[in-house]
Structure 1
Amino acid sequence: MNAYIFPGQGAQFVGMGLDLYEKYPLAQELFEKANDILGFRITDIMFEGTPEDLKQTKVTQPAIYLHSVIMSKVMGDTFKPDMVAGHSLGEFSALVANGTLTFEDGLKLVSKRALAMQKACEMQSSTMAAVLGLEDAVVEKVCEEIDGVVVAANYNCPGQLVISGEVEAINAACEKLKEAGARRALLLPVGGAFHSPLMEPAREELAAAIENTTFSEPSCPIYQNVPTTAVKNAEEIKKNLISQLTAPVKWTQSVQNMVADGATLFTEVGPGKVLQGLVKKINRASETTSAELA
C-alpha cells in the first residue's frame, strides 16, 4: 500500500517551489491564488528571499504547505494514496491531499495557525530541545520531575525525542537528561514551545477557525499526530487537528500503525527528505522515496 507523507516546519529552503511555478501552469495558478489569499507575495520570499525571511513563522508554515500541496496537485493521476500522514504542520497538507480540505481552506487555516502560534510564542519565553539516545520512557520521567512546564513534544523515531516548554525548565531537563545518559540534549532554533500546554492560546484561536471550516469525508484514511491510528471521520479529524497544537506529535507511533495496516512504500511530498530518514529508523524494511513529477 502507498503511504504519502508530508513534512513540517524546518524543511524550508530558499528557491523552494520555483521549479513547479516555472514548469506547470496549474502550479503558477495556485501560487498566485495563494499570494491573493495571504495578502502578500509569498512566492517572492520562497523563490528569492533570504533564509531569514523564510524563517518567519507567518512565511515558513504556508511556504511548506504550498510546496507540498502544489506538488501533489501537479502529480495528477500518478498521485494515488492509500493512506496519508503529516508531521505537525504537514497534517494540513495531508488533509488537502486526501480531499478533506480544499486548497484555499487549508491555506487559510495554516496561515491562521502560524500567526496564532507566533502570538503565543511572544506571550512567554519558551523553547524546544532535541534529545538523542534515550528511551522515550526515561525522557518522559525526567520531564515529570522538573519544576515548570516541560513535556515530550515530538516522538520522531526511536532514540530521538523533542521536548518543549519554558526556557528554564528545558535547560534543567537537558542537564538531567545528559546525566541520565542522553547522547545529546540540545536547544533547537525555534520561536517557542510548540506542542506543549504553552500553545493553549493558539489552540483556542485555531479551534474557532477550524469549527468554521468545511471538512469533507476523506478519500483515504489519515494517520493523525494525536491518535496515531487511521481516521476517516471528518468530525473526528477536526477534533484531532485542534488537539494537535498542545499535544505531542507521535510520528513514531503513526508510522508503526501505518506499517501494521499494510504500508509498504512511503512517498515524501514536499521539501527535504527528513521524514524518509525517520521512517527508515522506525521500520528498516519500509521502502521510502521522494515524490516524482512527470
Structure 2
Amino acid sequence: MAIRFYFPGQGAQYENMGMDFYESFDSYKKLQEEVALVADLPLLEILKDPDALSETENAQLAIFSMSFGIAKLLSEEGIFADEVMGISLGEYAALAYSGAVRQLDTVKMLKKRSYFMSLAAKEKEGFLAAVSFLEESLVEEAVSTTENVYVSNYNAPNQLVVGGDAQKKEEILSKLKEKGAKKVTFLSVSGAFHTKYMEKAALYYGEYLKNIKFFPPEIPVYANVKGNLYERGDDFRKLLSDHVDHPVRLSSILSSMEKKEEDLHVVLGPGKAMASILKQNKVPGEVVLVSSVEQFKEAVRRVKER
C-alpha cells in the first residue's frame, strides 16, 4: 500500500479555511504565525476577508500554509507520505514536505512567485476556462486556431483548462462548442496562469530562484511541468520558472504512477478539485479529504486501522 499526499492549487481557497486547525493545534498555529511573519502578511485577517483571500498574492500563501500545516500534523501522528504531488502552487508544499527546499524559503518563493504572476496578470488581462467532456485532441485543435489562447492544464483525458487573452473568450467558447464540448466553465482567477501570458513573470521569477538552495528530495515528488517525477540532475530552478508559463500535466503524472487498489490518496487542504481529478483519471485506491479537524481525525483513524 502506498500513501500519497496531494496539495491543492489556487482557486480552492474559502473564507475562514483552516481556522479550526488554528484553534485546535499549537503546532499548526505556530506555522501560520511563521508564514505570516516571513511573508509580512496579516494572514488571519486575510482568511476572514473573502475579497483579500481571492487576491493571488494572498491566496497562494494561505493555501500553502493550510495544506502544509495539515501534512505536518499528520507527521506528528506518525503518518507519512510515500509520494507527494501538488497542483500548481501545491507543488511547493510537496517540495517542502519532501525536504527539497526549506520551509521558510518556500514561503519566500511563493511570495515572489505570486507577486510576479499578479503583475503579469494586471499587465495583460487574461482568463482561464475549464473544458469538460471533450477529448484532449479536440481541445488542442480549437486552441491551435485561436490566437493568444493556450492549454494551461491537462487535468484528465476529457478535462483540460485553456486560457489566454480575455478578448478571445467568446471566440474560443464558440470553437469548443463546435467541437462538442458539453461544459465550459470560466474560472474566477485574476490571470491566464500557466500560459505564455505569464512569460515575463517566469523570467523574473527564474532570476529570483538563483538565490534559493535546493536539496535532493527525501521522497518522490511529481513535477507538474514534466508530467513525471523529479529526478537526480533535474534543474529545479528551471522547472519551477517554466512552471509559471507552461501547462500543468496532471493526467500524465497520474498515468505514470504505479497504482494499486489498496493505495490511499490523501488530499490536504481546501477544495475537492483533486479528488475529482483522481476520479476522472480512474486512479484506483481510496481518496480521503482532509480540510477540517473532524476530517483530520477520521483520516488518522482510517490510516492507523490499515
Q: With the length of structure 2 as denominator, give the TM-score of the two structures.
A: 0.90
CA distance in 1, matches of 2:284, 2:30: 39
Query: What is the 5 A alignment of 1:1-294?
Result: 1-46=2-47, 49-77=48-76, 78-146=78-146, 148-233=147-232, 235-259=234-258, 264-291=263-290, 292-293=296-297
After TM superposition, give the deviation of residue 290 of structure 1 in Å.
2.2
CA distance in 2, matches of 1:239, 1:133: 33
Question: Relative to structure 1, is the Cα distance of residues 266 and 236 closer, same or farther in structure 2, using a 3 angstrom cutoff?
Answer: farther
CA distance in 1, matches of 2:195, 2:178: 24
After TM superposition, give the deviation of residue 83 of structure 1 in Å.
1.1
Q: One-letter code of the match for 1:270? A: G
After TM superposition, give the deviation of residue 44 of structure 1 in Å.
2.1
Would you say the 8 A contact 2:254–2:283 is kept in 1? no
Identity of aligned residues (%): 31
SS of 2:257's equivalent in the other structure is helix
Instruction: Give ranges in structure 1 of 5+ residues lacking alignment.
Output: none
CA distance in 2, matches of 1:262, 1:212: 42
After TM superposition, give the deviation of residue 185 of structure 1 in Å.
2.2
Q: One-letter code of the match for 1:27? A: Y
After TM superposition, give the deviation of residue 286 of structure 1 in Å.
2.8
CA distance in 2, matches of 1:287, 1:90: 21
CA distance in 1, matches of 2:233, 2:21: 30
Would you say the 8 A contact 2:5–2:83 is kept in 1? yes
After TM superposition, give the deviation of residue 235 of structure 1 in Å.
4.3
SS of 1:75's equivalent in the other structure is helix
CA RMSD of aligned residues (A): 1.8
CA distance in 1, matches of 2:21, 2:202: 33
After TM superposition, give the deviation of residue 158 of structure 1 in Å.
2.6
Would you say the 8 A contact 1:42–1:63 is kept in 2? yes
Could you give the per-residue CA deviations for residues 210-230 of structure 1, whole angstroms, max 9, x where no partner exists?
Answer: 221111111111111111112
CA distance in 1, matches of 2:94, 2:233: 13
CA distance in 1, matches of 2:120, 2:260: 37
Question: Relative to structure 1, is the Cα distance of residues 285 and 252 closer, same or farther in structure 2, using a 3 angstrom cutoff?
Answer: same
Would you say the 8 A contact 1:11–1:271 is kept in 2? yes
SS of 1:182's equivalent in the other structure is coil
Number of aligned residues: 291
Would you say the 8 A contact 2:260–2:285 is kept in 1? no
Would you say the 8 A contact 1:127–1:191 is kept in 2? yes
Would you say the 8 A contact 1:280–1:286 is kept in 2? no
CA distance in 2, matches of 1:22, 1:40: 19
CA distance in 2, matches of 1:289, 1:111: 29
After TM superposition, give the deviation of residue 186 of structure 1 in Å.
3.2
After TM superposition, give the deviation of residue 27 of structure 1 in Å.
1.4
After TM superposition, give the deviation of residue 259 of structure 1 in Å.
3.7
CA distance in 1, matches of 2:221, 2:233: 10
SS of 1:245's equivalent in the other structure is helix
Could you give the per-residue CA deviations for residues 117-140 of structure 1, whole angstroms, max 9, x where no partner exists?
Answer: 110011112111111211001110
Q: One-letter code of the match for 2:121? A: C
Q: One-letter code of the match for 1:117? A: M
Question: Relative to structure 1, is the Cα distance of residues 108 and 75 closer, same or farther in structure 2, using a 3 angstrom cutoff?
Answer: same
Instruction: Give ranges in structure 2 of 5+ residues lacking alignment.
Output: 291-295, 301-306
Would you say the 8 A contact 2:260–2:284 is kept in 1? no
Q: One-letter code of the match for 1:140? A: E
After TM superposition, give the deviation of residue 233 of structure 1 in Å.
2.9
SS of 2:144's equivalent in the other structure is helix
Larger deviation: 179-188 or 96-105?
179-188
Q: One-letter code of the match for 1:174? A: L
SS of 1:220's equivalent in the other structure is coil
SS of 1:4's equivalent in the other structure is strand
CA distance in 2, matches of 1:289, 1:272: 12
Q: One-letter code of the match for 2:140? A: E
After TM superposition, give the deviation of residue 62 of structure 1 in Å.
0.4
Larger deviation: 15-24 or 84-93?
15-24
